[in-house]
Amino acid sequence: MEILVPIVAIVFVFLIPLLSIWTEYRRDRALIEKGLYQPDQPSARPGWVLLLVGAILTGVGIAGIITAFVFEVGRIAGIPGLISLFVGTALIAVYYVAGRMRTDNG
Reference 96, options 54, 62, 60; nearest CA is 54
Is residue 98 classed as helix, strand or coil in its secondary structure?
Answer: helix
58 CB-near residues (< 8 Å, 6+ apart): 84, 85, 88, 89, 92
Q: Return mean pLDDT, the chain.
A: 84
Report pTM: 0.51
What's the average model confidence in pLDDT over 86-106? 80
> Does the pLDDT value for residue 35 go beyond 70?
yes
Reference 84, options 62, 52, 67, 51; nearest CA is 62
pLDDT tens digits, 49-90:
888 899 999 999 998 888 888 887 777 778 888 899 999 999
Domain limits of the chain? 1-41, 48-105
The single-letter DSSP state of residue 43 is P
Helix 48-70 and helix 79-105, axial crossing angle in degrees, nearest 10: 150
Number of neighbours of residue 85 by Cβ within 10 angstroms: 20
**Please, are residues 82 and 61 in contact by the beta-carbon 8 Å criterion?**
yes
